[in-house]
């Protein structure tokens, strides 16, 4: 038995979300604030018997995107698969076609509804039946609803997924059209059967290891200390005579300590001082006694962990001497051992929830820990924002959470992919590439030169990094973009992805008859044919996919960078790379040639001489705010990051002007422009002013592209 799906409606930052899970280890990845902790809290409400059954929800538990919460429902629903024939499991077995005698015994639902009480729902239904109903009448009813008018109901065997908008509108209500269902229609096929006399979480073994843990504090706590829980479980196995013997020894030790002459002297000294201070009548009697716990349970609670470094076998120290990462590993190990204790109690399902296990743990341990968590008959849920853990996670058992406007977005990266396609993806993704799963936008490039220079171009020209824009740039290392690009799709990861590649149009004229090609022309022709074929293939691949688009250099990255009026950067690189003045002048003369057959051929020669990656590093030293970003790269950048905040555009504007003040090469007064821009309180007006004053600036081009 395992959880195959979790559906959430209106719970915290989840407006309508459905997550699919598999047997074994499941990974929930996402940036900070994406909702990983909220998702775990929802899961624990449903399956963790340490959580209170009388769950109380508050106004801030409703998703903000719905506006006024009054009248809306919070729904948390779990779908189970592979149910056995036990009585507890069959209590949640899913019906087929609302036929109670013909149900699927291998699937089941367990649902929590936090909803208005039936009298409120009746009022809403009666209004929806009324002719000429108005929003004012609906608002009147809703304005009188408080949280005290809500009830929490657990049901089993429901057949409807309330994360689907149509279902929510039909069976909870449509607040726009003022249409609400009749609450007196039982509809157990929709809402399920109320759970009486059975607590589903009590039938599960569930252990939760929280994030941001203070291990020392947790191990001092009697309530949450996994060490004490393990020792308490073992206490019942200690023979009674052994307990009595130990307790007697402790009592004797207490008596011996208390009777020490030094202890008695301190005790009598305190008593005499009290009498001297308040007199014999009011002075209390004072004694000092040892209180080592004589009760076996309290004795076990006094035990503490001592740990040693694996490189120092002969030394043990207190937990506080251990690194944060080491202490974290101790905590997780105790929780896993605690789970094994719970698991033995013949539960119908076993679950482990671990929140951000990567805290303070270095890369190798993160990967090893993850790979060791796959346990028999146990479903594991791990939340993380570690690229190292995500790099060893199966795409097929991964859910991605992303921050949306007032609500979380949920992506399943393997949805509707063939098994062989999933395998290729999993083989490709490593710690350096899985950061694309956390990004707001992605740029895929084919080689080292683009991977090195594009981030530097953006940073030097615009004053912001790709990281600040939420964009990951991934070097595919070839032109085989499809394997990774297929992630970005309506069915999977709904994030914009730009593909940057070369069209490889020949830089030299080609004879009409290819039989007349010399060797260089033949190579150029073959590259051009390959480029045209690749472009057509990519265009077909990206067709009808709003999240994917390809952008092409007319020739190659190096040539198009030069043609974007960046000869100064190339010549500065040449000046530093060569010492012979004649050689430098000869190369610079070719670079300045207006015929691409000459200049393009020369820059490609330089790239081949130094290696494309190293040549890009050399050029990077000479890039500044005056460098031109080639149009195809600028378009790719805007596509991958379509929702740039106006505050970021203002930041870029101020950066651009501050840099232009330093090298004022035209007649514009950039100091005045900066002051005028800064005087605007309204960001839109400020940006309009910038576009008016600096019409040909790169930022103005970007704003035109994004229509800002």
Token pair, residue 154, equals 């657990």
DSSP string, 20-46: E--SSEEEEEE-TTSSHHHHHHHHHHH
Q: What is the model's pLDDT at position 330?
A: 63
Number of structural domains found in the chain: 4
CA-to-CA dists, residue 479 to 318, 423, 447, 502, 637, angstroms: 55, 19, 9, 9, 19
Quote the radius of gyration of the chain (alpha carbons, Å). Answer: 34
245 and 185, same structural domain? no
The answer to whether residue 526 is domain-embedded is yes
Q: Which residue has the tokens 């706590």?
A: 221
Instruction: Give kind and range of the element (H or E) at residue 75.
Output: strand 74-81
192 and 60, same structural domain? yes
Q: What is the model's pLDDT at position 207?
A: 83
Domain termination residue (choose one: 177, 198, 219)? 198
Torsion (CA) 87, 92, 98, 99 in degrees, nearest 10: -10
Domain termination residue (choose one: 284, 304, 324)? 304
Q: Which residues of 441-480 are buried (b: 16+ CB within 10 A; e: fewer)?
A: bbbbbbbbbbbbbbbbbbbbbbbbebeebbbbbbbbeebe
171 and 70, same structural domain? yes
DSSP string, 564-581: TT-HHHHHHHHHHH---H
| Whole-prediction pTM | 0.80
CA-to-CA dists, residue 351 to 36, 377, 450, angstroms: 17, 9, 45
Q: What is the model's pLDDT at position 100?
A: 47
147 and 87, same structural domain? yes
Q: What is the model's pLDDT at position 663?
A: 80
Give the structural domain span for 668: 645-708
274 and 182, same structural domain? no
Token pair, residue 582, equals 């004649």
660 and 552, same structural domain? no
The answer to whether residue 4 is domain-embedded is no
Q: Which residues of 168-203 are buried (b: 16+ CB within 10 A; e: fewer)?
A: bbbbbbebeebbbbebeeebbbbbbbebeeeebbeb
558 φψ region: left (φ > 0), alpha (ψ -120 to 50), beta (else): alpha
99 and 170, same structural domain? yes
174 and 244, same structural domain? no
Strand 496-502 and strand 441-445: pairing? Answer: parallel
- Please enumerate in sequence order all residues whose Cβ is within 8 A of that of 606, keeping only pairs 6 or more positions apart, or say none: 570, 574, 587, 615
The answer to whether residue 221 is domain-embedded is no
Q: Which residue has the tokens 């190579």?
A: 523
Which CATH number characterizes residue 559's domain? 3.40.50
The answer to whether residue 572 is domain-embedded is no
Instruction: Give kind and range of the element (H or E) at residue 452.
Output: helix 448-462
261 and 191, same structural domain? no
The answer to whether residue 363 is domain-embedded is no
The answer to whether residue 322 is domain-embedded is no
59 and 189, same structural domain? yes
Domain termination residue (choose one: 604, 620, 636)? 620
The answer to whether residue 99 is domain-embedded is yes
Q: What is the model's pLDDT at position 315?
A: 47
Taking the C-alpha atoms of residue 34 and residue 470, their distance in angstroms, rounded to an integer, is: 14
CA-to-CA dists, residue 635 to 531, 546, 632, 640, 642, angstroms: 20, 15, 5, 9, 10
Which residues of the chain fall short of a pLDDT of 70? Answer: 87-88, 95-105, 197, 212-237, 282-283, 291, 294, 296-345, 358-376, 388-389, 431-432, 708
175 and 237, same structural domain? no
Looking at the DSSP assignment, which residues form a beta bridge with residue 473? 443
Q: What is the model's pLDDT at position 250?
A: 78
Q: What is the chain's length?
A: 708
190 and 58, same structural domain? yes
The answer to whether residue 73 is domain-embedded is yes
């Amino acid at each position: 038995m395992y959880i195959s799906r979790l559906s959430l409606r209106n719970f915290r930052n989840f407006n309508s979300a459905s997550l699919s899970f598999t047997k074994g280890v499941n990974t929930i990845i996402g940036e900070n604030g994406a909702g990983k902790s909220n998702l775990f809290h929802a899961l624990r409400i449903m399956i963790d018997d340490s959580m209170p059954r009388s769950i109380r929800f508050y106004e801030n538990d409703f998703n903000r995107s719905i506006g006024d919460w009054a009248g809306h429902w919070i729904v948390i629903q779990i779908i189970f698969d592979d149910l056995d024939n036990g009585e507890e499991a069959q209590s949640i077995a899913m019906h087929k076609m609302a036929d109670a005698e013909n149900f699927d015994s291998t699937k089941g639902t367990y649902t929590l509804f936090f909803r208005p009480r039936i009298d409120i729902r009746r009022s809403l239904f009666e209004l929806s039946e009324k002719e000429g109903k108005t929003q004012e009448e609906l608002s009147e009813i809703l304005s009188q609803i408080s949280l005290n008018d809500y009830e929490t109901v657990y049901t089993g065997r429901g057949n409807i997924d309330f994360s689907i908008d149509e279902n929510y509108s039909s069976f909870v209500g449509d607040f726009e059209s003022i249409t609400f269902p009749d609450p007196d229609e039982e509809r157990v096929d929709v809402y399920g059967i109320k759970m009486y006399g059975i607590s589903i979480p009590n039938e599960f073994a569930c252990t939760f290891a929280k994030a941001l843990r203070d291990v020392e504090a947790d191990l001092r706590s009697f309530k949450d200390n996994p060490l004490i829980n393990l020792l308490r479980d073992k206490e019942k196995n200690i023979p009674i005579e052994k307990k009595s013997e130990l307790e007697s020894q402790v009592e004797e030790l207490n008596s011996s300590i208390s009777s020490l002459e030094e202890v008695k002297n301190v005790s009598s000294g305190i008593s005499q001082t009290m009498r001297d201070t308040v007199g014999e009548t009011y002075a209390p009697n004072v004694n000092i006694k040892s209180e080592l716990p004589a009760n076996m349970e309290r004795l076990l609670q006094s035990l503490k962990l001592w740990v040693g470094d694996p490189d120092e076998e002969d030394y043990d120290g207190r937990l506080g001497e251990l690194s944060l990462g080491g202490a974290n590993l101790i905590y997780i190990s105790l929780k896993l051992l605690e789970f094994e204790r719970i698991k033995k109690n013949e539960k119908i399902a076993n679950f482990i929830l671990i929140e951000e296990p990567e805290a303070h743990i270095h890369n190798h341990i993160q990967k090893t820990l993850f790979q060791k968590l796959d346990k028999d008959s146990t479903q594991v849920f791990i939340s993380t924002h570690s690229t190292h853990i995500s790099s060893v996670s199966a795409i097929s058992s991964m859910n991605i959470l992303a921050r949306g406007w007032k609500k979380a977005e949920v992506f399943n990266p393997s949805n509707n992919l063939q098994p062989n396609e999933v395998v290729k993806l999993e083989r490709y993704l490593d710690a350096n590439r899985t950061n694309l799963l956390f990004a707001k936008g992605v740029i895929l490039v084919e080689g080292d030169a683009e991977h090195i220079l594009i981030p530097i171009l953006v940073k030097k020209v615009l004053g912001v990094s790709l990281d600040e824009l939420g964009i990951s740039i991934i070097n595919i290392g070839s032109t085989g973009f499809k394997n990774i690009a297929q992630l970005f799709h309506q069915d999977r990861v709904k994030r914009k992805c730009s593909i940057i590649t070369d069209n490889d149009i020949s830089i030299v004229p080609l004879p009409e008859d290819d039989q007349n090609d010399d060797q260089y022309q033949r190579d150029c022709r073959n590259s051009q044919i390959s480029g045209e074929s690749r472009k057509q293939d990519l265009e077909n691949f990206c067709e009808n996919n709003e999240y994917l688009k390809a952008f092409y250099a007319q020739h190659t990255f190096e040539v198009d960078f030069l043609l974007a009026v960046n000869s100064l950067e190339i010549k500065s690189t040449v000046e530093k790379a060569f010492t012979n003045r004649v050689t430098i002048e000869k190369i610079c003369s070719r670079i300045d040639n207006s015929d691409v057959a000459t200049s393009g051929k020369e820059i490609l020669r330089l790239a081949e001489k130094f290696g494309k990656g190293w040549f890009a590093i050399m050029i990077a030293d000479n890039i500044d705010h005056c460098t031109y970003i080639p149009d195809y790269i600028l378009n790719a950048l805007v596509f991958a990051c379509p929702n740039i905040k106006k505050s970021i555009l203002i930041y870029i504007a101020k950066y651009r002007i501050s840099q232009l003040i330093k090298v004022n090469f035209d007649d514009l007064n950039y100091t005045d422009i900066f002051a005028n821009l800064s005087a605007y309180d309204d960001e839109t007006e400020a940006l309009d002013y910038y576009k008016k004053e600096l019409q040909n600036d790169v930022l103005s081009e970007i704003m035109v592209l994004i229509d800002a």
